[in-house]
Amino acid sequence: MREGLESKYKPYDMNDPNNALILGQQNAGNIEYLKQRIASLEMIEKEVNDMSLNLISVNEQIQGLIQQQQQAATQLVGSKPLTVTGS
């Protein structure tokens, strides 16, 4: 890791006007940190999109199974209600 580049954000010390080099290095480190965070967010976005597509597919499969069960029930029982006699 280069000097000034760290894996976490560091707040700026604005009290000392003579530390321009330190602020520059810290700025470079913070920019690198933000780039890494953005890259990880892009990966998360891709995973969320993939999961969303999978969810749509699973929902379509479930709807197909429900329709098959309804058709099977209609074939077994028929479409007319049963007549029940006696008490």
Query: Does 77 map to a domain?
Result: no
Q: In total, how many domains does the chain have?
A: 1
Query: Does 2 map to a domain?
Result: no
Contact 37, 18 (CB under 8 A): no
Query: Does 49 map to a domain?
Result: yes
| 9 against 53, higher pLDDT | 53
Query: Does 69 map to a domain?
Result: no
Whether pLDDT at 39 is above 70? yes
User: Quick one: pLDDT at residue 2?
Assistant: 52
- pLDDT, tens only, 3-18: 555 667 777 667 776 6
Global confidence as pTM: 0.48
Query: Does 52 map to a domain?
Result: yes
Query: Does 53 map to a domain?
Result: yes
Query: Does 74 map to a domain?
Result: no
Query: Does 8 map to a domain?
Result: no
- Residue 39: domain span: 34-60
3-state SS of the chain is CCCCCCCCCCCCCCCCCCCHHHHHHHHHHHHHHHHHHHHHHHHHHHHHHHHHHHHHHHHHHHHHHHHHHHHHHHHHHCCCCCCCCCC
